[in-house]
Amino acid sequence: MSNYRLSRVPAPEFRRAFDTTGLRFFPDEAEAKIEVDSFQFAISFSLDDNGHVAPEHMAAAREILDQIGDLDAIATRDIDGKEEDGELAVVIILSEDEVDFRYYAVAWNSDWSEVFARCDDGTWVHRGIRKHQFP
């Protein structure tokens, strides 16, 4: 298992590190820092017209953190002993039903997003890599 895989740490540790009182606000988004063991990543939220984070987005973030090790393993194809050694940089909460896991890899100068969507039964499923559009 790679040192970058979040499953090395029990998921409740990530949930405990989620402090909504410490959100940093920017013009179009808010961000929470998650620091557990040697892992550091952010959770990013868009803001509504009043400059607030929607409660449904906070709830989605908590759900994601409860499953972060499993979702990270799926996103990085942690199967058959082969995996990409990217490191999670940010979890972007796009809606209560869609999130992106944004990864980067310094060794091969790359970054990418893995998309997860919530199914009708409440489970989160991997939808593949988000294709970025450049101007």
Domain boundaries, the chain: 6-130
The tens-digit pLDDT sequence of the chain (135 residues) is: 567 789 889 989 999 999 988 899 999 999 999 999 989 999 999 999 999 999 999 999 999 999 999 999 898 875 444 445 678 999 999 999 999 999 987 777 788 899 999 999 989 999 988 876 655
What b/e sequence results for 92-119 when a residue is b if at least 16 CB atoms lie within 10 Å of its CB, and e otherwise?
bbbebeebbbbbeeeeeeeebbbbbebe
Question: How do residues 42-77 score in pLDDT, each as one tens digit?
Answer: 999 999 999 999 999 999 999 999 999 999 989 887
Stated pTM of the model:
0.88
